[in-house]
Structure 1
Amino acid sequence: MLLAIDAGNTNVVFALFEGRKIIGRWRIATDARRTGDEYAVWLMQLLAIRGVEPRQVTQVIISTVVPRALHNIGVLCRNYFGIEPLVAGQGAADYAIDIDVDEPRSLGADRAVNAVAAHAKYPGDLILVDFGTATTFDAIDFNGAYKGGIIAPGINLSLDALVGNTAMLPRIAIDVPQTTSVIGRNTEDQMLIGVFWGYVAMMEGLIARMRAEIGRPAKVVATGGLAVLFDEAVDFFDAVDPDLTIEGLAILAERAAS
C-alpha cells in the first residue's frame, strides 16, 4: 500500500492507496512543531480502525509547502513504517514537467503535483483553480508544462480579515447565499453576499483573462476543499476533482517505483 501525505498550510492530509484506489483519508491541522511520535499516536489508531497494519504500507510519498513539517513527517515514516519516504520534486519523485516560469524552484509542491495529475487526467490546455489557504490559478499547456499562474487570498482568509478588522461584524460560515438577490437585507446576508459572490466575480474575471492570454480553448479544473461548494453556484468549472493533489502524489510514487 502507498501512504501519500500532503502537508498544506492549514491541514496535513494522509491518504492510503491500494493501487490507484484511495481506501482511507485523514487530515490533521498543520503544526510544524508536531513531532513524529505525535503523528504516530494519531495515525496508528486510524489505521488500526481500518484494519491496516504498518507493515502493509510499503511506500510513502510526501508533498509539503511547510518545510519545517517535513523533518517530523520523515521521522514518522522511518521510525514507524521503516520506510525512507519519497519527497515530491526530489530524486526519483521528480515532477518531470517543464516549469516555465522565472523562478522554477519557488513553485509550491502542491501546485506542481496538481499539474502532474491534471495533465495525466485531462487533455489539452488547463486552468487549475485550487481552493486552499490561498486560492491559486495555474496555467498548464497541452504538453503538460507549467506556464505560471495567480495567487489570491483564500476566501476564509478574506473573511477573517473582514471580521478581524471590524468591531461589529459577526463571524459567519461560508455557504451559498440562500437569497437570489445581491442586495442583502441584514448584516449577515450582506457579508455572505459580499464574500461569496465577490469571490465568484473575481474567479470569473481572472479565468476569462487567463483564457484570453492562453489563446486556445482551456478546460477549468477545480480542486480543494471549497471547490464543490462553488460548483453548486457557478457554471465555469469543466471538472471538480477534490483529490487532484493526492492523486498526483500517487502518480509520482508509481513512476518512482517503475
Structure 2
Amino acid sequence: MSLYLIFDVGNTRLKWAAVESTKQPSDQQKKLWDYSGSINTQSLQSPEHRAELADYISKTLPKPDAIAFSCVAGKEAIHQLQSLFPQWQDIQWKQLSGDSAFDGMRTLYQDPSKLGSDRWSAIIGARCLSKTNSLIVNAGTATTIDVLGSNGMHYGGWILPGLSLMHQSLEANTAQLPLAARDASTQGFGTSTNEAIIGGCDAAQIGAIQYALDLAKQMNVPIEKIWLDGGNAKTLMNQIQQANLLGTEKIEVSEGLVLRGVWAWLLKNI
C-alpha cells in the first residue's frame, strides 16, 4: 500500500492531505483523507513556521511514496514548500499546472499555461465526482466560476473578487462605508448600511452563478451539478438555501476539490 502527500497552496490558505492508495479520487465518503491540515500561506515565509509544519507532518504520517502540489501563491512559495522535507530528498515533487494534461479532459483556454492551477485542479476534482455538465465554484480569496461539459471540455470561466475582497474594497475606497460584519439577520434587501453591504456582496456572487447557469444553457451545456468549494462556500450555500435560489437540490459543497484534482492527476503521473 502506498501513501500520497498532496498540497494546495492558495493565496490565503495552504492545505495539505495524505491519502492511501486503497482509496480513489471518485470516492465521496466523508472521511476521505487519512491525514489533513491547513495553515495560513504566509506562514511559509517564516523559517520557524516552516520548521513547525515540516516537523508536524513528518511526525504525523509515514514517509510518502509521492508528493504533488498546486500553487498559485508564486515561485517563492513553491521554493519554500519544496524545502520542507530535506530528509525526503529521494521523493520527486510533482507540480500540477494549468496546462497539465489529464485523460479525457481539455480546455478552451487560449493559453492553458495561464489557467490557474487551482482552477484546473478543482475542475479535474469535479470531473472525478461527476460526468455531468457541471459548474465549479471556488469561493476563496477570489471567486472562480468554471463550466465543465459532460464531454470533459472546460469551456472557460470567470474570476471575480471574493466576499472578503468585496467588503474590504468598499471600506478602503469609500469615505463612509465601514468594514461590514455578517450577522444572522442579513437576508434580502438591507435596512442598514451593514446589511446593505453584506447583502449586496452576496447578491453579486450568487448573481454571477445564476448568470453562468443561464449562459451555459444558451451554449447547450445545461448545468446539472454545481460544485461549491472554498473558504466562503458554506456562507454562500447558506444564503442560497435560505433564499431558495439556483435549484438548491443540484448544489453540493465539496471541500478539497483542488486537493482531489491534484491527487487524481498524480495517480496518472507516477
TM-score range normalised by the length of the shorter chain: 0.7 to 0.9
Q: Counterpart of 1:199?
A: 205
Q: How far has the Cα of 1:189 moved from its partner?
A: 2.1
Aligned residue in 1 for 2:269: 256
Q: 1:84-139, CA deviations, whole angstroms, 9 ceiling, x for partnerless residues?
A: 21111499x74343122211111111111112111121122211111121111111
Quote how far apart the aligned CAs of 1:181 are: 4.4
Distance 2:66 2:48 in 1: 19
Which residue pairs with 1:3 in the alignment?
A: 5
Contact 2:72 2:117 in 1 (8 A): yes
Per-residue CA shift, 1:148-189, capped at 9, x if unaligned?
1111111111111001122333323346x52544141x3322
Displacement, 1:33? 6.5
Runs of at least 5 residues in structure 1 that lack an aligned partner in the other structure: none
Task: State the TM-score, normalizing by the size of structure 2.
Answer: 0.81
TM-score, normalised with respect to structure 1: 0.84
Q: Partner of 2:29 in structure 1?
A: none
Give the structure 1 partner of residue 217 of structure 2. Answer: 211
What corresponds to 1:158 in structure 2? 166
Name 1:101's counterpart in structure 2.
Answer: 109
Q: How has the CA–CA distance of structure 1 residues 86 and 35 changed in structure 2, closer, same or farther, with 3 Å as cutoff?
A: farther
Letter in 1 for 2:13: N
Q: Secondary structure at the match of 1:9?
A: coil
Aligned match of 1:63: 70
Task: Output the CA distance in 2 between the equivalents of 1:88 and 1:102.
Answer: 18
Q: Residue type matched to 1:111 in 2? A: R
Which 5+ residue runs of structure 2 have no aligned equivalent? 24-31
Distance 1:200 1:243 in 2: 21
How far apart are the structure 2 equivalents of 1:65 and 1:160? 21
In the other structure, the counterpart of 1:40 is 51
User: How big is the shift at 1:22?
Assistant: 0.6
- Is it true that 1:27 corresponds to 2:29 in the alignment? no
Q: Map residues 88-127 of structure 1 onto 2, 5 A cutoff.
A: 88-89=96-97, 94-96=101-103, 97-127=105-135
Once the two structures are TM-superposed, the CA of residue 23 in structure 1 deviates from its matched residue by 2.5
Counterpart among 230, 235, 240 of residue 229 in structure 1:
235
Contact 1:159/1:195 (8 A) holds in 2: yes
Q: CA deviation at 1:56?
A: 2.8
Deviates more, 1:155-164 or 1:245-254: 245-254
Q: Is the 8 A contact 1:3 1:17 kept in 2?
A: yes
- Distance in 2, matches of 1:81 and 1:33, equals 18
Q: Could you say what secondary structure the match of 1:2 adopts? A: strand
Shift of 1:194: 2.0
Q: What code does the residue aligned with 1:147 have?
A: Y
Q: Provide the aligned C-alpha RMSD in A.
A: 2.6
Offset of residue 206 of structure 1: 3.2
Change (3 A) 1:165 1:179: closer
Number of equivalences: 249
Whole-Å separation in 1 of the counterparts to 2:131 and 2:5: 27
Percent sequence identity over matched residues? 22
